[in-house]
Amino acid sequence: MRIILFGPPGAGKGTQARLLEEREGYTQISTGDIIRSAMKNETPVGKEAKAYVEKGELVPDSVVRKLAEGAIADEGYDDFVLDGYPRTTQQAEWLTEFGAAHDAPIDVVISLEVPDDVIVDRLSKRRVHTKTGDTYHLEHNPPPDDVDPAHIIQRDDDKPATVRNRLAVYREETAPLEAYYEARGTLVTVDGVGGIEDIYDRITAALEAA
Ligand code: ADP
Ligand code: ADP
């Protein structure tokens, strides 16, 4: 199955995509993770992306498109969960064309619905492991005791000023994609508030029904 996990920054896309990878064998394709790794390794893409990511802006469509399509091709065009792609109408249209060209259309778009106050709480208390990329939340999903605290950091773009911009960008550029996928008949909305396991159960139920 080809799945998109859709929703605002902090909705829980990465958390749920990882669970689907671990438990159901899907491959998580996170353009955010790919971009952060490129920035860390100072590749040409990483150098180009840096200024955008730091300001909470979107990286140009043409750059992200190559990353996403490359990752989908590497996975053999199936059994993946896109996490954080597409984020603009242009990206969505390209993805539809790409799917048609490879006989690999998106089967279902799961939209995680989370109100703004919950998002701000989740992003301000999100912490990540510098080596594994594992994501934690200071209260709801704290790092286990055997994890070295020296490796647990806050993402620079999770600081309040950048978060405000990311949410504005989401509303302006990304939120309209819900209507795009609704019109294509692939959108399923899932309540994203609740425990991580409860939301996982809602998502797997939605995937079974799709
Ligand atoms: P979050 O987990 O908060 O939704 P991501 O890790 O997905 O954030 O993305 C981090 C940053 O990487 C974004 O703010 C943006 O700068 C860049 N990025 C990731 N995916 C895309 C995309 N599809 N299009 C443009 N920029 C992207
Ligand atoms: P996204 O990939 O959509 O930006 P993440 O999966 O990184 O979102 O989650 C954002 C933050 O919220 C992280 O700190 C994560 O541990 C936490 N989180 C994820 N799902 C839940 C949940 N159901 N309840 C509480 N906190 C959650």
Percent of the chain topping pLDDT 70: 100
What's the pLDDT band for 182 if we cut at 50, 70, 90? very high
pLDDT for position 10: 97
For the segment 38-55, the average pLDDT, to the nearest whole number, is 96
User: Does ligand 2 lie within 6 Å of residue 135's CB atom?
Assistant: yes
pLDDT for position 124: 95
User: Does ligand 2 lie within 6 Å of residue 20's CB atom?
Assistant: no
Question: Can 23 be counted among the known catalytic residues?
Answer: no
Report the CATH number of the 2-26+79-114+168-209 domain.
3.40.50.300
Alpha carbons within 13 A on the beta-carbon side of 22: 8
What's the pLDDT band for 48 if we cut at 50, 70, 90? very high
How far is it, in rounded angstroms, from Cα 82 to Cα 150?
A: 30
Q: Is-contact 5 82, C-beta < 8 A?
A: yes
pLDDT for position 183: 98
How far is it, in rounded angstroms, from Cα 106 to Cα 112?
A: 17
pLDDT for position 61: 98
DSSP the chain: -EEEEE-STTSSHHHHHHHHHHHH-PEEEEHHHHHHHHHHTT-HHHHHHHHHHHHTPPPPHHHHHHHHHHHHHHTTT-SEEEES---SHHHHHHHHHHHHHTT----EEEEEE--HHHHHHHHHTEEEETTT--EEETTTBPPPTTS-GGGEE--GGGSHHHHHHHHHHIIIIITTHHHHHHHHT-EEEEE--S-HHHHHHHHHHHHHH-
Tell me: the pLDDT tens digits for 58-100? 999 999 999 999 999 999 999 999 999 999 999 999 999 999 9
User: From the candidates 2, 18, 36, 87, which is the catalytic residue?
Assistant: 87
Centre of ligand 2 from the C-alpha of residue 193, in Å: 10
Domain ranges for the chain, please list them.
Answer: 2-26+79-114+168-209
Q: What is the mean pLDDT of the chain?
A: 97
Question: Can 166 be counted among the known catalytic residues?
Answer: yes
Report pTM: 0.97
Question: Can 65 be counted among the known catalytic residues?
Answer: no
pLDDT for position 143: 96
pLDDT for position 66: 97
Tell me: the pLDDT tens digits for 132-179? 999 999 999 999 999 999 999 999 999 998 999 999 999 999 999 999
What's the pLDDT band for 7 if we cut at 50, 70, 90? very high
How far is it, in rounded angstroms, from Cα 155 to Cα 198?
A: 26
pLDDT for position 5: 98
